[in-house]
Structure 1
Amino acid sequence: MSGVLACFGQRDLIATMPDRLDVLTGSCIQIPCLFDIPDQNKYTFNSTILTSGVWIKGNPYFGGHPDSVIFNSTEMVNRYQGKITGNMSQKNCTTVVFNVTTNYTNIYFFRIESQPFRATDPDKSVNIVVSDLPSSPILTVSGEVKEGTPVSLNCSAVAPCPEHPPELTWTLPTQFTTENQLQENPDQTKSVLSTVTFTPSYLHHEKNITCTAVYPVGTSNKTAEHNMMLNVSFSPKDTSTSISPADPVLVGSCVNLTCSSTANPPVTNFTWFQISGGKTTQIASGQSYTLNVTVGNGGLYYCEGRNSHGCGKSNEVQLAIKGQGEVIGFAAGTLGAFLLISLISLFVWRRNSRLHDGLERTDSPQGQNSPVGTVCTNQATAGEEPEKPAEDQPEEIQYGDIDFSKLQTKETPAAAQDRVQGQESVYAEVNVTGSRAQEPPLNNLDGLYAQVT
């Protein structure tokens, strides 16, 4: 009668179970199952009466297909070894089947037997797939994997046999912490969830991580794994500047500078700077910078790369201009020589000026500042003619006394020159009346003589 009602689209029993279950050969499988009775049949179902749970393989028909029944909870012997672990009185028909083999792969329908109510849900079945290898775990990432920011990775593996859940292990290029738990999914199936937490670095970008699920089956283990490449976001790293040609270049030649950087996402803006005379100037933008060399282009150059996560500065490179050092050296030498000659000329001019001033101070006009002294000579008596010397009488040398306390010397240019050179000589010109003396020889620089005229 249930089959007839099913043909007319009426459901006497509403079963709830997963659409598909994957299981390993030799392992067990748990089939989550719940059922409900439609309102029109609730008066015929008595939850206090023992209710049998029946699993039918391949089709929903119970009568006339005894080979299709693989399990009946009221039977001691069944084609499939298993048991109903749910409480039927509470409409829980969860069932565990042991020692699954590959020929268990098929669709299955659930039926209840209870006096006076019997019904099968022909519209709901579970597809059981048996394989020799476990399915791969599932890897997910919570949020963006960004450099310096802690991130969590989740690995989930189905647990078709909750009595022997899989063990999850991780392979990461850095230190991490893990947390494992058995959890229930929305369709009532079980799975093992492993969460790993770590702080990524730009060095972890495009590195592989692996989650491995190890399933115990009998006395052996079966494994499955999932690999994933990390996609780490980071600011520009390893930014560098290259110059071509690297050797000193001539004025008027062409030089190409290139900036390179590692970043994720890639660098969107390159900026060029020049350091000259201790001053930094922004000169251009773009990954490459080409210039025709002039004298003012010499100096240090560097670039900066920037993306949405920050910027990175490159090394500094020297742009050397051929011959510029020699020209600068020659100019510096010429300037130094000019300054030296100027200093020497200034020194000589000031020395001569001081010497000229000294001569003007000491060389006064005739009759002024004449040396004053008492000169004793033989004078004639008043009114008498002076005695004339005989023709053959030799001239006598007349000596005079000089009072040096009142004497002021008259310095001649020659005397000034001697004074400058460190020789000390004193000369005096004395006018003596009444006699004419022969000039004594001046052969003693340490003595003092008077010339009598």
Structure 2
Amino acid sequence: FIQLLEKQCLNESNQMVKCPSLTVKQFSLEHIQRFVSCVSAALCGQFKTIIPQTIEVLSGSCVTIPCSFDVETRFNSNIDETCRALWKSDVQTVVFDSSNPQSSTIQGELKGNLTRKDCTTTLNNMRPEHSKEYFFRVECNNFRHNFHDQKLHISVTDDPPTPTLTPSTLKVEEGTSVSLKCSAPAPCLSHPPALTWTSSLGHIQESLQENQDRTKVQTSVLTFTASRLYHRLEMSCTAIYNKQDGSSQSVSTSLTADISYPPKNTTVSVRPSGPVPENSRVTLTCSSTANPAVRSYTWYRADGGREVVMGTRNVLDITASEVSSPFFCKAENDLGDERSNTRQIEVLCVGDTTLKIRDN
């Protein structure tokens, strides 16, 4: 149709005047059909199923297909107790019939209530040859329909899916509260995977959760406080899938913890360790564990109330003398520092027969 509009325009004298304009709007038959279709779907319902696009299942196990359907409103009264659920791989081939599940190509069980438009179905003992696309069909005394516009692809595999760790890497500071989640698909609700941790460091909580497409996933959350003792520790989660024939298969995934912490266990070692004559050379070594690694060492001599810097390497060479003050070292990284205990060197003098090196 053509619509006449009035707009404000400037004439040659810069005065505002009304100026008409024409707007042509065209609606094709396709546009009208789409509009009617949208209104009809909103008011009258439409034929559709809500099913996952893909499900991966372990060979020898079952698969539970979450399924719901809808029909045009005028057919609602026909969805009654006479209805049965069928799953088909093509228009001619029925692989499951809820009215005769034991004689179906793939045996199983209708879990949902068709009168509530719930077509959730479990198919048992899936095999590699069952890796196909499937769609749902409902048959009632006064109604039947193929929902072939929405199809599910089932992939039957010989190996179970690898569980997922979240986060996939673990790099935290000591003292941080960590929640490590292991997730594994649970396509067979009667035999969900069992999840185990090789390093049980804290509290474990398991739950069965639902994805957006209504498929299920088994989760196990390990909660612990990060410690330097766990640095470089391999943490593994194993998913054990029990098949319907009683056998089982397992698969694991792991990560290596990277726990950062300030210097710990800072100590001083002395060489030689035996009696040292006066004026002989003594080597002091400062050792410490840290992540990130120690970036600097500092040696101090406790001289009365003062601390005199003697060196800035992890090794300090000194000359043993009759008068010797205590020594200690400090190790430092980006997260902090730590001091060692003091080492008092007692020198063997002329006439002595022993040398004492003691910790303070």
1:54 paired to 2:86? yes
1:43 paired to 2:74? yes
CA distance in 2, matches of 1:72, 1:155: 36
Structure 2 CA distance for partners of 1:51 and 1:240, relative to 1, 3 Å: same
CA distance in 1, matches of 2:334, 2:74: 68
**3-state DSSP of counterpart to 1:43:** helix
Report the identity percentage: 35
TM-score by length of 1: 0.54
1:239 paired to 2:275? no
**Which of 111, 117, 120 pairs up with 2:137?**
111
Q: Which residue of 1 aligns with 2:158?
A: 132
Q: Which amino acid aligns with 1:31?
A: I
CA distance in 2, matches of 1:90, 1:258: 78
Displaced runs of 4+ in structure 1, greater than 6 A? 242-251, 255-258, 289-293, 318-321
Q: Which residue of 2 aligns with 1:169?
A: 196
CA distance in 2, matches of 1:292, 1:111: 90
CA distance in 1, matches of 2:78, 2:116: 8
- Given that 1:155 and 1:193 are in contact with CA atoms closer than 8 Å, whether structure 2 keeps it comes out as yes
Q: Which amino acid aligns with 1:164?
A: H
Q: Pairwise CA RMSD of aligned residues?
A: 4.1
User: Once the 2 structures are TM-superposed, how far is the Cα of residue 22 of structure 1 from its aligned partner?
Assistant: 2.4
User: Once the 2 structures are TM-superposed, how far is the Cα of residue 116 of structure 1 from its aligned partner?
Assistant: 4.6
**Which of 285, 291, 300 pairs up with 1:264?**
291
Paired positions, count: 300
1:92 paired to 2:123? no
**3-state DSSP of counterpart to 2:258:** coil
More helix by share: 1
Q: Which amino acid aligns with 1:73?
A: S
**Which of 7, 11, 19 pairs up with 2:53?**
19
User: Once the 2 structures are TM-superposed, how far is the Cα of residue 96 of structure 1 from its aligned partner?
Assistant: 0.3
Structure 2 CA distance for partners of 1:47 and 1:233, relative to 1, 3 Å: farther
Q: Which has the larger radius of gyration?
A: 1
Q: Which residue of 1 aligns with 2:252?
A: 225
User: Once the 2 structures are TM-superposed, how far is the Cα of residue 278 of structure 1 from its aligned partner?
Assistant: 5.0
CA distance in 2, matches of 1:211, 1:172: 9
User: Once the 2 structures are TM-superposed, how far is the Cα of residue 81 of structure 1 from its aligned partner?
Assistant: 0.9
- Given that 1:139 and 1:155 are in contact with CA atoms closer than 8 Å, whether structure 2 keeps it comes out as yes
CA distance in 2, matches of 1:191, 1:138: 11
Cα deviation code 1:417-444 (max 9, x no counterpart): xxxxxxxxxxxxxxxxxxxxxxxxxxxx
Structure 2 CA distance for partners of 1:308 and 1:80, relative to 1, 3 Å: same
Cα deviation code 1:320-350 (max 9, x no counterpart): 99x9x78xxxxxxxxxxxxxxxxxxxxxxxx
- Given that 1:236 and 1:262 are in contact with CA atoms closer than 8 Å, whether structure 2 keeps it comes out as yes
Q: Which residue of 2 aligns with 1:33?
A: 67
Which residues of structure 2 form unaligned runs of 5+? 1-36, 351-360
CA distance in 2, matches of 1:173, 1:120: 48
Structure 2 CA distance for partners of 1:257 and 1:192, relative to 1, 3 Å: same
Q: Which residue of 2 aligns with 1:332?
A: none
CA distance in 1, matches of 2:325, 2:118: 83
- Given that 2:78 and 2:143 are in contact with CA atoms closer than 8 Å, whether structure 1 keeps it comes out as no
1:344-355 to 2 correspondence within 5 Å? Answer: none
**Which of 61, 70, 84 pairs up with 2:95?**
70
More strand by share: 2
User: Once the 2 structures are TM-superposed, how far is the Cα of residue 301 of structure 1 from its aligned partner?
Assistant: 4.1
CA distance in 2, matches of 1:234, 1:173: 21
Query: Greater RCO between the two (CA within 8 Å, min separation 6)?
Result: 2
User: Once the 2 structures are TM-superposed, how far is the Cα of residue 186 of structure 1 from its aligned partner?
Assistant: 2.9
User: Once the 2 structures are TM-superposed, how far is the Cα of residue 98 of structure 1 from its aligned partner?
Assistant: 0.8
CA distance in 1, matches of 2:124, 2:133: 17
Structure 2 CA distance for partners of 1:248 and 1:314, relative to 1, 3 Å: farther
1:211 paired to 2:237? yes
- Given that 2:287 and 2:314 are in contact with CA atoms closer than 8 Å, whether structure 1 keeps it comes out as no
TM-score by length of 2: 0.66
- Given that 1:164 and 1:216 are in contact with CA atoms closer than 8 Å, whether structure 2 keeps it comes out as yes
Q: Which amino acid aligns with 2:261?
A: F
User: Once the 2 structures are TM-superposed, how far is the Cα of residue 284 of structure 1 from its aligned partner?
Assistant: 6.2
Structure 2 CA distance for partners of 1:56 and 1:265, relative to 1, 3 Å: farther
User: Once the 2 structures are TM-superposed, how far is the Cα of residue 280 of structure 1 from its aligned partner?
Assistant: 1.1
User: Once the 2 structures are TM-superposed, how far is the Cα of residue 216 of structure 1 from its aligned partner?
Assistant: 2.3
Q: Which residue of 1 aligns with 2:303?
A: 276
